[in-house]
Every structure is written in structure tokens, then in C-alpha cells.
Chains A and B, each alone.
Chain A
């Protein structure tokens, strides 16, 4: 499903080159629920950006559902992000001027769905995360937990191959955080593949496998290659 081999990522700022990832090998199977952990500066976010096709590796091969994505052009990558990746961010990253429904609708617009389909899918997903009666509210009118549920609904909009969550409970109180974790577990039980980057052991304890990163390398839980 996801297979990374010898991935390195070097950031060059002026004359200084920083090696964020130094040879990552990682496999994520279909319908797996994994967490990626590691101290700050270990390359978690860089790895997530690469898996999410927001960025391309300096070296190495990355296969997403058997497709080599390392050297695709930006428009193709956008298409892959649209159809195969669902992002859930720590700070939600919802469009502030749009309602909950409109936020869920955005990826469907880019996919080119008709309004009828967008309405059906959007309503269905918001119902699934328990926000059916909040569809017409804007992010400022929602609590943190509700905002994160909107962004989960948005991540599910195009029925992605994998959901990538970056510290999804980082900005939430413990009650809301637990609700979000429950949603992820439900999604996993429904057959979704989920990768969560987290510091929170409460999440990682409920995942199948913990991938540990240190200094740009996977030190534990790389999966069977």
C-alpha cells in the first residue's frame, strides 16, 4: 500500500544543508492504524509531508498503491493528494469564511464532483462525525473538537487511500481529544488506513504499530519489507 525505500530529504538554506531524513524505509499495509512518534526534530513532519505528497524526497523511492510518486509533476501530485490522501492537521486548517459543509465540499470541488454529489457526500460525512445540525456554522462558531471533526469529514470526502493526521489532538482538551481518537478507531474498524503523528501516548497505545523516529531514521516499527 505505502512503501518507502531509502528516502532522504535534504533542506538547503543558503549554504547550510540540513538532512531531515536519512534513509527511511517504511511500509504501511492496507487497513493499518499506525502512529509515528519521535522527539521534535526527528523528521516526523517531513516524513508526513512526503507521505502526503506535499513534498518530494531528495532521494529514494516512494510507491503509493504501486505507483511511483517520487518524481511526478505538481499537478499530478495535486491530483493524488485530492483522491488518495486525507489530511487532518493539528490546527485544523479550515477555511475561516466557509461553513462546515463548504469546507467538506472543497476537495470534492477540486475533484470535479457535481453539486448534487457534493451535497450528498458532504451531508453524509458530517452526519458520520456527528455534526449534521452544525453544517451551516462557520469555524468560529464551532468548538475545537467540532472543528477537528469537520476536518476529518473533509479528509474523508474523496474516499482516500490513507488518512494522515498530524497531532490531531494537540490543540484539544482531553475530552475532545478522546472523542477524536474514538472517531479514528471507528474509521479504522470501517476499513480505513490511518497514520497519526503524535506525542500523545493515549493515541499511540490504541494503534496497531508504533513507528519510532530518531535523527531522521526509523529506529523501530518500520513494518515488514
Chain B
């Protein structure tokens, strides 16, 4: 009943100061809109960036051979370290934390012909594990290089989606024959379009992949250009990296402490660092939104100050009847909380609608693709509700403190 009375007072005031309260509620709604919207964009960016990172592969580390800089076991410095299939076998055997590992032969400037069109492109010799490890997923109707291709050195090629488009246009590619270095290859699959942020030797969508054994037979490479491995648990990346140095160090006879012997691109830790940056951006966006909401909070405080003045007599009556400080204060705080949460509710509903609409609009442009789609998560909702609560509390607290200092003797005479 007490709270019921408070609602009655609130609605009576609503009638009296309809315009003022409506404007303030709108201000709160707008503030909520901006905080939720900005955070939703931050969330969308985070999701999209994570996707873009995983375009290269999830939890992978890329290694190039380097040169030793520390003399080791009687061997001088400056020796070149290069990898071949033996290294892959060693890593597979010795480090159980590694999920996939594979080498990659690579050649640039290879001619590719389909019909009358010839392009000069990059060809990679790969292993089947690249499908999962380096996200070379085939489009419907196609497949990636498999073990049999490898075993029989088949002349089959898996095309990057952009390369396929440039070389063959809209033709169905699977099953067609293209010439690579004037050698006929059957197209077995085309890569599914993906967002890729990190890359080496160009984006995957522009590369042609053939079985590593076929590659070796044609060009006679003895060493991999790149060695890639994928860890089972991204949190173990540092430990695995150390083990890799030890394993390869004992085989190639270099000091495991010699960091220059291998050149490593740790995409796992890079993503972690990058995510910290995204969290920073999200916080920044949230603070901007919070500022807008804060201004709206000042509006609520303003209304509550006016209400305190208007109700001086009423406060005096209540005090005479035995209202304590907290009885007087709680009423004003509750009222500003009502305004804050009502406005906030309106803002949240409005934002949800806008986000739904934005999510339904397809995005083609690349820059916008990296921005991603705004997404409202539970975290955002919780943050918003907490901020709204704080704004309501503070914008009610200070006026209510003034109300509690009303002198009952004077206010009872107040007309």
C-alpha cells in the first residue's frame, strides 16, 4: 500500500508535469539507445573480428625457418634452418598438445589457364589437414585435397573462390580441367567465401592448392616454405611453442633458446592481444553511451528537485505524521528509478528493433563487413540495467536529500 501510494503520487505528478517528465523519459530512452547501440556495435565488431581472425585458422601458429645466432654443440652460428616432412612427423609424435600440423610448399608466378584465359598466380602444395587447420573449406559439391590425392600424386586442384571467379567466371568449376604450368589439373573444389584478416603470401581466396606430393614431383622442392600447427587448447600455445623449439632444436641442432633459429607468427597470442584492443574499444563506446545517459540523469535530477519544491508542504505533513528521513528519501529515489527504468525500457525496445532491422540488411561492402552487425548480448543488457539503476539512484538521491532536510515547521506553513 505504501508503494501503491508512491505510484499514485508519481502519476499525479506525471499529469501535472507531463511535458517535462515526457522529455526526460525521452532523454533517458535516447541515452539508453546510444549506450546499447554503441555496445551492440562493439559486440558485432568483436564477433566479426573473431571470425576474421579465424579465417586464417583457429589456434594456429605459423613458422618459417630462420638462421641460428648462437653457436651450439660445436656448430657455428649463421646456419640456415629449413623444414621438411621429417619435422612434421617429429612434431606429431613428440607433442601431443598439437592437434594438426602440416607443411606447405609454395610457388609464385605459376601460369594457370582455363579456356582462353591465362593468369599468373600462386600455387601451394598442401596436406589434407589444411582443410580444418587453415579453414580451406570447400563450397557445396566440392572437396579438399585428401590422402588418396596425396598417395597417388593426383593432378587435382582446389581453387580459392576469388581465383576461381577471375579464372573461370560463373562456370561450375568442379570437374573441369585447368592447366597449371601447362599440366592439366582437375578442379575438385572451390573454397567457401570467408573473412580473412591475417595472411601470408596473399589471401587464401587467391591461391590454388594442390597435393604436396604432386607439387614436389613437378617442382622438386625439398623444403617447406612454411610449417603450420594448430594447438588443441589455445591457452597452451606458449607451452607448445617452447616444446616446438626443443623438439626442432634437438633435430636441427640449435639452442632451444635461440629465437632467431625459427621465425614464428603466433596467431593465437596475436588474437588474444587483439581482443584486448577490442575490449578497450567496447569500453570506450560504452563510456560515450554512458555519458549521454548521464546527461539524461541530470534531467531526472532536475525534475526531482522541482518535485521536492512543489511538495514541500506534503513532505512537512508526512514528517509531522512521523516520516523518517529514509521514508521521505525513498519516495523520491523510487520515483526517479521509475523514470529511469521506464525510459530505459523504451530505449531498449527501440534499440532492439533497430538492431533487428540492421541485422536484416545484407552488407556487401568490405569495410562494413569488418564492422560486422550490431549484436545485443546479455552482457550488454546487464551493463545497461546496472547503469540505468545507478543513474536513477543518483538522480534521485541528491534531490531526496534536500527533501529530507525540509523543516517541518516551515513547510507546514508553506502554501
Contact = CB atoms under 8 A, between A and B. Distances in A.
B311 to A, nearest CB: 10
Interface in A41-62: 49, 52, 54-55
A145 interface: no
Interface in B1-38: 1-2, 5, 8-9, 12
Nearest to B323: A110
Interface residues of B, number: 22
Interface string B302-333: 00000000000110111111111101000000
Interface stretch (A97-105, A170-178, A188-196): A97-105
Nearest to B313: A93
Nearest to B413: A45
B314 A95 contact: yes
Given A93-B412, A98-B8, A87 B321 contact: yes
A75 interface: yes
A155 to B, nearest CB: 9
Contact of A97 (B8, B319, B327, B412): B8
A75 B412 contact: no
A102 B3 CA distance: 12
A105 B324 contact: no
A66 to B, nearest CB: 20
Nearest to B327: A110
Given A98-B5, A109-B2, A54 B320 contact: yes
A78 B9 contact: no
B12 A107 contact: no
Given A95-B314, A97-B12, A98-B8, A75 B325 contact: yes
Nearest to A73: B325
Interface size class of A (residues with CB under 8 A): 20 to 34
Contacts of A154: 321
A139 to B, nearest CB: 12
A54 B1 CA distance: 26
A81 B9 CA distance: 23
Contacts of A110: 318, 321-324, 327
Given A95-B317, A98-B8, A111 B1 contact: no
A79 B322 contact: yes
A115 B408 contact: no
A82 B321 contact: yes
Contacts of B321: 81-82, 87, 106-107, 110, 154
A93 B408 CA distance: 12
A82 B5 CA distance: 18
A102 B1 CA distance: 9
Contact of A74 (B1, B5, B325): B325
B320 A81 contact: yes
Nearest to B415: A91
Contacts of B409: 49, 54-55
A33 interface: no
B314 A78 contact: no
Given A97-B8, A98-B8, A106-B318, A75 B324 contact: yes
Contacts of B323: 78, 82, 110
Contacts of A98: 5, 8
A147 to B, nearest CB: 13
A93 B1 CA distance: 20
Contacts of A107: 321-322
Most chain-B Cβ atoms within 10 A of its Cβ — which of A49, A79, A95? A95
A111 B97 CA distance: 68
Contact of A81 (B2, B313, B322): B322
A127 to B, nearest CB: 19
B222 to A, nearest CB: 89
Interface in A142-176: 154, 158
Given A54-B409, A55-B409, A78 B8 contact: no
B320 A87 contact: yes
Contacts of B320: 52, 54, 81, 87, 93
Contacts of A217: none
A83 B12 CA distance: 29
Given A54-B408, A55-B409, A78 B322 contact: yes
A184 interface: no
Contacts of B12: 97
B21 to A, nearest CB: 16
A75 B2 CA distance: 19
A46 to B, nearest CB: 9
B410 to A, nearest CB: 10
16 contacts: A54-B412, A78-B319, A78-B323, A79-B322, A79-B324, A87-B321, A93-B320, A97-B9, A97-B12, A98-B5, A109-B2, A110-B321, A110-B322, A110-B324, A118-B1, A158-B322
Task: List 5 A-B pairs, minimum CB-CB distance, nearest first.
Answer: A82-B322, A110-B322, A107-B321, A78-B324, A97-B12
Given A55-B409, A110-B323, A158-B322, 19 more contacts: A52-B320, A54-B408, A54-B409, A55-B408, A74-B325, A75-B324, A78-B325, A81-B322, A83-B322, A93-B316, A93-B317, A98-B8, A102-B5, A105-B1, A106-B5, A106-B321, A110-B327, A111-B322, A118-B1
